Structure 1
Amino acid sequence: MEHHEQSDRIDPFNRIDKDFSSFIGMNRLKETVKEIYANIEISQMRERVGLKAQKQVLHMLFKGNPGTGKTTVARKLAAAFYDMGVLEKGHFIEAERADLVGEYIGHTAQKTRDLVEKAMGGILFVDEAYSLARGGEKDFGKEAIDTLVKHMEDNQNDFILILAGYPEEMEHFLSLNPGLESRFPIVLDFEDYSVEELLLIAKQMTAEREYQLSKEAEWKLRDYLFKQKRNQDRKGFSNARFVRNTIEKAIRKHAVRIVQKRHYSTEDLMLITKNDLILE
């Protein structure tokens, strides 16, 4: 343990690289976390020598298709920011429209306030945030947005608000709420994964569970992913989520196959074959 802390002190970015090493791609994210960390360190140094030190506002917008890692990253940031001393508690609260929007006048503001209260010292992550603006002027979603904005101003250093959603819908949402985007100094775009990245994710997931894909299974998955990528209308494709569901299904199929065998080796218990992979 001593050695770990010492190495982190020598290279302050060592810990961040380690914490986010399991994330495939996402270089922009890693750079942003390093910038935030460096800013905190420099602010503390400036304070010590009597210079002005500005508190960072860390509210964020995440734009990306399903399964590009938005929720996973937000969860990880809560823990990382707690370790850095940015957040007091480092807990993670995930919310959607139903958690914020009430059924009658005044109900929404109360629900939203309660949720922000719970999130104090941590991260409040609102997924599919654009659904708050779907009903127009008379919709209570507008009240939820206004209440969130008020709390962002009043408690801007006590919690972090992350609004997330599909890129096009988020752009539309921001166009309906002028002045909202400027309150989020950090905007992260979560790109769709390439076929190679998705295969890496599949291998990572199987290795974590102490399984492995046969070469034929890997080719079958690669071929399917290429076809998905070629298909222009890819709204329905859920990136890493699709890969996770596929691996979990394959493990269940593998279990049924092995249970029916009389004799099996350690390799049999680990190897996912082409026929175990059901792709649809």
Structure 2
Amino acid sequence: MSSTAEAIVKPAGTPPAVDLREEFETSGVREVLAELDRDLIGLAPVKKRIRETAALLLVERARKSMGLAQETPTLHMSFTGNPGTGKTTVALRMADLLHRLGYIRKGHLVSVTRDDLVGQYIGHTAPKTKEVLKRAMGGVLFIDEAYYLYRPENERDYGQEAIEILLQVMENQRDDLVVILAGYSERMDRFFQSNPGFRSRIAHHIDFPDYTDEELLKIAETMLAHQHYVLDEEALTVMRDYIAKRRGQPHFANARSIRNALDRARLRQANRLFETSKGPLDATALSTISAEDIMASRVFSIAAKAARAEQ
């Protein structure tokens, strides 16, 4: 036995060894990761980081069971990326993962923004922030667009008070609460530069890439399938064109924009069926989105207008 191994003395009563593969199966981690793969299209680098984090937490739990670790690892996280890239969904899965591994008591997710934490007058912020923290204890607190907490240009802003309370709880009660800060990458970078206390408490930084056009098309088909709708062949082609054009227009929000587009397409489909049907409609007619239901979108007229302006 090496001198290093001889120096590691385990407390009496600890297990002689731990089967990590068995822990992976029995803890439910495999199930959570499988759900992540099944429910989220693309996001390969994000899924890789979640698997790596799960492996780390499994090992840390095993080490603790053998008396080799005393403190809970720092689990606070930062999720950065554009809107509609799955940050909230991954946060939900992370809460489930942490609960199954015993790192949080409840496994619930409390999602908030600045308005839920910061008050409008003196004495209002502390009670609001503490109430949110009370609801989140034992689970995960997800703060979307966290950089809006910090507004140095406004001398009468109370965001700094919420930040100080959050930092204190993140440090002193990290055994009972995990905080995930989320938002645009560049704005989050500036936020961390202005608030080093947050950066020092964040252990895991995960960047969420934009979806590709093909991934968004698959997301569209999946969203419709969940509601028992389909795109006909021509509509599929038009939807692909829609995605390419919509990406280049303002306020594009990845999967969120696709969901909004499909909601409007279903509205047009319903109106088309109501106005044109002359008799009973079968399930296929009621469940099929046609090209015209998508082509009516302003995205196409805006793109055409922009193309004419360039000529």
The question of whether the paired residues in 2 share the 8 Å contact of 1:93 and 1:119 is answered with: yes
Shift of 1:75: 2.5
Give the distance between the partners of 1:201 and 1:175, measured in 2 at CA. Answer: 35
Q: 1:255 aligns with which of 265, 270, 286?
A: 270
Q: Find out whether 1:203 has 2:221 as its counterpart.
A: yes
Q: What is the DSSP-based 3-state SS (H/G/I as helix, E as strand, rest coil) of the residue aligned with 2:196?
A: coil
Inter-partner Cα distance in structure 2 for 1:171 and 1:7: 36
Residue 271 of structure 1: which of 288, 292, 301 is its match?
A: 288
> For residue 34 of structure 1, what is the amino acid of its counterpart?
R
Matching residue's letter, 1:248? D
1:18 aligns with 2:41: no
Picking from 148, 165, 185, the partner of 2:203 is 185
What TM-score results when the alignment is normalised by the length of structure 2? 0.80
* 1:159 counterpart (143, 160, 177): 177
* Other structure's SS at 1:93 match: strand
CA distance in 2, matches of 1:101, 1:195: 38
Pick from 61, 72, 76: which aligns with 1:59? 76
AA in 2 matched with 1:165: G
The 1:256–1:154 alpha-carbon spacing in structure 2 relative to 1, beyond 3 Å, is same
Structure 1 residue 99: Cα displacement: 1.2
TM-aligned CA deviation for residue 11 of structure 1 = 10
- What is the rounded CA distance, in whole Å, between the counterparts of 2:79 and 2:56 in structure 1? 21
Other-structure match for 2:85: 68
| Residue 168 (structure 1) shift | 2.0
Match of 2:233 among 211, 215, 234: 215
1:245 aligned partner: 260
Report the AA paired with residue 38 of structure 1: A
What SS does structure 2 have at the residue aligned with 1:37? helix
Output one character per residue of 1:187-246: Cα deviation in whole Å (capped at 9) or x when no partner: 1111111111110100110111111111211111211222233x3xx5511111111111
Quote the RMSD (CA, aligned, Å). 2.4
Runs of 4+ in 1 over 6 A off after TM superposition: none
Give secondary structure in 1 for the equivalent of 2:83: coil
Distance 2:163 2:80 in 1: 18
Residue 81 of structure 1 pairs with residue 98 of structure 2: yes
Q: CA deviation at 1:53?
A: 4.6
Deviates further, 137-146 or 182-191: 137-146
Identity score, percent? 39
Q: Check 1:48–1:225 CA distance in 2 against 1; reply closer, same or farther (3 A cut).
A: closer
Distance 2:106 2:129 in 1: 20
Contact 1:100 1:108 in 2 (8 A): yes
Matched residues in 2 for 1:171 and 1:272: separation? 42
Structure 1 residues 208 and 8: alpha-carbon distance in aligned structure 2, compared to 1, 3 A threshold: farther
Q: Give the one of 140, 159, 164 matched to 2:158.
A: 140
What corresponds to 1:105 in structure 2? 122
Equivalent-residue separation in structure 2 for 1:100 and 1:10 (angstroms) = 38
Q: CA deviation at 1:79?
A: 2.7
Looking at structure 2, the residues matched to 132 and 10 of structure 1 have their Cα atoms a distance apart, in angstroms, of 40
Q: How far apart are 1:127 and its partner, in Å?
A: 1.1
CA distance in 2, matches of 1:182, 1:62: 15
Would the alpha carbon gap of residues 122 and 249 (structure 1) be closer, same or farther in structure 2, given more than 3 Å must change? same
Who wins on radius of gyration, i.e. which is larger? 2
Structure 1 letter corresponding to 2:207: D
Distance 1:35 1:53 in 2: 21
Supply the AA of the counterpart residue of 1:108.
T
- Give the letter aligned to residue 272 of structure 1: I
Deviation at 1:31, TM superposition (A): 2.5
**Residue 141 (structure 2) aligns with:** 124
Helix, strand or coil: the match of 1:144? helix
Residues 94 and 11 from structure 1, CA distance in 2 versus in 1: closer, same or farther, beyond 3 angstroms? closer
User: Structure 2 vs 1, CA of residues 73 and 98 (structure 1 numbering), >3 Å: closer, same or farther?
Assistant: same
Structure 1 distance, partners of 2:262, 2:182, is 26
- Following TM superposition, by how much is the alpha carbon of 1:35 offset from its aligned partner in structure 2, in angstroms? 2.7
**CA distance, structure 2, for counterparts of residue 52 and residue 177 of structure 1:** 30
Can you list the C-alpha shifts for 1:252-279, whole angstroms capped at 9, x where unaligned?
Answer: 2222333441143332122110111242
TM-score, length of structure 1 as denominator length:
0.88
Q: Is the 8 A contact 1:254 1:276 kept in 2?
A: yes
Question: Is this contact kept in 2: 1:109–1:143, CA < 8 A?
Answer: yes
* Counterpart residue type for residue 228 of structure 2: E
Q: Tell me the secondary structure at the aligned position of residue 180 of structure 1.
A: helix
